[in-house]
Amino acid sequence: MAHQYQIVKFEPGEATDFLIRRIELADREGANALAKELGCLPLALEQAGAYIKETGGNFSTYLEQLKNDRVNVLSKSWPTGYPEPVSRTWNISFEKSKEEMPLSANLLSLCSFLAPEPERIPKALLSRGLKYLDQPTPTSSQLEEAIQALVRYSLVTVVPDSFYVHNLMQDVIRYQLPENDKKRWAEAVANLVDDAFPKDHLDNPKSWPECALLLPHALAAAGHAEELGVAPEIAGHLLNYCGLYLRTRGELAEAKSAIKGAIEISEKVYGPDHPTVATMVNNLGSVLQDLGELQEAKKCFERALKIDENVYGPDHLSVAITVNNLGLVLRDMGNLQEAKKCYERALKICRARLGEDHPHTKLVLENLKSLLPIK
C-alpha cells in the first residue's frame, strides 16, 4: 500500500539550525542559503544533510550541485528512517492523486511551468485557461476536484482562491515528462498566461494588481517556452508586457532585461526589420531614457523610426509616436533644435490623422510648447 507523505516546513531559522546540527558544520550563511533553496522542507533537508555528511562535503558544494542537476541530486543518498528519497516520495503521492482524479496529473504538469512558491497560482487563472488543460475541456468543478486531490496528497498548498507549488516539486514533474509533453505544456502555459495578462495596463491602473499577480508566471512561462523552443511569438509578447508593466513600477533594470529578451526572441521570429520588433525597440528606448542611458535610447528610437518609415511610409501614426519619443530624448540630451523638428513632424501627422482635439495631438503640442521660444 502506498503511503501519503505530508509536505510540512520548518521556519527558516529552524531549517538553518537543523542543517548545522545535522552536519556539525558551523557555516550559518551556507546553511541558510541551502535551506532557502530546499524550501525548508524537512525531508529534503535531512536528505541533504545525510549526503553532505556521507561525502564529507559542505553546504556550498551541495547547493552548487543542486542548482546544476536538481533532480539527480534529489535522488541521491536518502537517509536511514525514510523509505524513499524526496523525488520518489513525491512520485508515490503523485501517482495516487492521479489514480483518484486523472485530471490532477495534467493540472500539476501545467503548474510545473508556472512560477513556484512563494508565488500564488490563482485558481481564476486556470479557470480562464481550462481549454489548455485537457480534452475534453474540464468544468470548473472538475478542476476544483483535481486541486483537492493534490491537496489530499500534499502536492500543493492551498490558500483562499489560490495555491502554491514548490519549486522542487516542479523540477521533479518537469524532469519526468517526455520531451514532447514538456513542449506541449510549455506552449499551453504560455498561451494561458498570455490570455490572462491585461493588455490595457498602461492606460488602466486598476489592472495593476492583476498584473502583479501574473508577472512572475508570465516570466516563468516565457522562460520555459524559450528554453524548449515553443510559442516564440507568445514568449516575446509576454516579455514585452512584463517589461512595460515593470516600467510602471519603476523597476527599470528588470524592465530593460525583459524587453531586451522580447526583442531577441521577436527578431528570430519576424526578422530584425519587422514592425513588431520596432514597437519593442521603441519600448526599450523609453526604458533606457528613464535609466538615463540617453545615447542608447536615441539609437533605439532611430532604429524603430527607420523600420516604421520603411514599412508604413513617412506619415503613419506609428512614425508620429516614434518621432515624438525621439524628440523627448533629444530634449533630455540638450539638442533642442532637433527635438523641435521631431515634435513639429509628429504634430503634423497627428493633426492630419487624428484631429486637433485628440489626446495624442494635444500631448505632442504640449511637448512642442515646452521648447518655446526655440526658433
Q: How confident is the model at residue 126 (pLDDT cuts 50, 70, 90)?
A: confident
pLDDT at 5 (0 to 100): 40
CATH (residue range 301-375): 1.25.40
**What integer is the mean pLDDT of 120-127?**
88
**Least confident range of 7-11, 281-285, 300-304:** 7-11
Helix (H), strand (E) at residue 249: none
Radius of gyration of the chain (CA): 26
Residue 255 CA to residue 252 CA, distance in Å, equals 5
Residue 76 CA to residue 353 CA, distance in Å, equals 67
**Least confident range of 2-16, 47-61, 210-224, 248-262:** 2-16
Helix (H/G/I), strand (E/B), else coil: 159: strand
DSSP letter at 38? Answer: T
Give the strand pairing for 121-122 and 157-159. Answer: unpaired
**What integer is the mean pLDDT of 77-82?**
49
pLDDT at 88 (0 to 100): 61
pLDDT at 323 (0 to 100): 98
Alpha helix stretches (DSSP H) within the chain: 12-23, 28-37, 42-55, 59-68, 70-74, 86-100, 103-111, 123-128, 140-152, 167-176, 179-196, 208-228, 232-248, 252-270, 275-291, 294-312, 317-332, 336-354, 359-369
Question: What confidence tens digit (pLDDT) does each residue in 304-360 have?
Answer: 999 999 999 999 999 999 999 999 999 999 999 999 999 999 999 999 999 999 999
Contacts 24+ apart (CB under 8 A), 6-9: 6/154, 7/41, 7/154, 7/155, 7/157, 7/166, 8/41, 8/42, 9/39, 9/40, 9/41, 9/42
Question: What confidence tens digit (pLDDT) does each residue in 159-216 have?
Answer: 888 998 888 788 888 888 899 999 999 999 999 999 999 988 888 889 999 999 999 9
Q: Please state, for a pLDDT cut of 90, what percent of the chain lies above it.
A: 53
Residue 101 CA to residue 259 CA, distance in Å, equals 40
pLDDT at 1 (0 to 100): 36
pLDDT at 6 (0 to 100): 43
- φ/ψ of residue 157, rounded to 5: -115, 125
Which top CATH class is 86-176? mainly alpha
Domain ranges of the chain: 12-74, 86-176, 179-270, 301-375
Beta bridge partners of 162: 122, 159
- Would you mind telling me the total number of residues written for the chain in this entry? 375
